Amino acid sequence: MKNAICVFGILIVFSTSIQAQSDLEEALKYYPLESGNYWEYMSIEDNLVFGIDTSYYSIEVLSDTLMSNGEKYKILKKNYFNSDYSSECFQRIDSLTANVYEYSGYEYLIDSLFSKVNDISIAGRGFQRFSKTKCIQISTDTLFNLSFETKLFKNIKEPIGFEYKLAKGLGYIGEEICEGTCYWEVLVYAKIGDKVYGQSVTTIDEYRKSIQKSFILYQNYPNPFNPSTIIKFKLGKSAITTLVVYDSQGKLMSELVNEYKNQGIHLITFDASDLSSGIYFYRLKAASFIQTQKMLLIQ
């Protein structure tokens, strides 16, 4: 009898272990962080003052790297299709907890892949670092004419309305932020292992060639910044040019340029020492070209 009970106990432990491993494998599918995986996103900004702006960027998982905390991370490279600017970040997934961490001088949690509806974690993406993030919905979405299980997360700490989704087998598929201006990101193309979803916008080199003679307003650098940053723009031809800065409510905060500028690349320093922390927009107008970019001031 004792032997039977002992065997039964072992079977329960073994079955529980198998189930736990299966749950872990399913959770990890929400964030495919293998080298070579690649995504393209469309960014849309809807501003009451400036109207709608659309841009594109890509993210590619490169190789592994060892950081000073002794942990191994994947290098993720982000390329902006409308500029020469690119950036890198470092992420890893804990294979036991299915937590996703990012490293930027220190490690912080960005996702908890095991999250179920109503679970709350101290995690955040981008500017929402160390925020309270809640899983508010698990559902099935149609993407690229296929069905994917998705998890919808919402920031519940900050006043900014911030939501994003992860899809099993695809990873991060988009977000929505609304604070005066509404901002969306939407996945339009992905290559996960040997599977391809959607249609690539274009290669970065082809896109740059197509806009070589056009007007470009680049992303400011650094961003976030404190207290000053560089705004770079390219004029396809000489023209009367204005470059202005607005706050998130559309109030004019600074006029940086209002004069005739020659064709070529120009660098303008924006000093925000007298402004408070927050999201600001800078708008370039030259000839018939108008473009707006977003930047974050952290005092």
Q: What is the pLDDT of residue 15?
A: 46
CA distance 164 to 30: 13
Say if CB 270 and CB 257 are below 8 A apart: no
CA distance 297 to 299: 6
Please write the tens of the pLDDT for every residue from 12-35. 444 445 555 778 889 999 999 999
Q: Of 9-13, 132-136, 143-147, where does mean pLDDT reach its minimum?
A: 9-13
Residue 119 DSSP SS3: coil
CA distance 142 to 121: 27
**Is a pLDDT exceeding 90 seen at residue 297?**
yes
Residue with tokens 């695809």: 170
Predicted model pTM: 0.65
Strand partners, 108: 102
Sheet strands (E) in the chain: 38-47, 51-66, 72-80, 86-93, 99-103, 107-112, 120-122, 132-143, 146-155, 161-167, 171-179, 181-192, 195-198, 216-217, 228-235, 239-247, 252-261, 264-271, 278-286, 289-297
**Is a pLDDT exceeding 80 seen at residue 135?**
yes
CA distance 71 to 64: 10
Q: What is the pLDDT of residue 78?
A: 93
Which pLDDT band holds residue 80 (cuts at 50, 70, 90)? confident
Mean pLDDT of the chain: 84
The Cα-based distances of 36 to 33, 39, 60, 63, 90 in angstroms read: 9, 10, 7, 8, 15
Which helix (H) or strand (E) segment holds residue 83: the answer is: none
Q: Give the contacts of 181 (CB within 8 A, at least 6 positions apart).
A: 45, 46, 47, 48, 248, 279, 281, 294
Residue 167 DSSP SS3: strand
Q: What is the pLDDT of residue 17?
A: 56
Nearest to 175 by CA among 192, 152, 198: 152
Residue with tokens 């469309």: 42
> Domains of the chain by range and CATH?
25-207 (2.40.360), 213-297 (2.60.40.2550)
Nearest to 174 by CA among 152, 148, 192, 156: 152
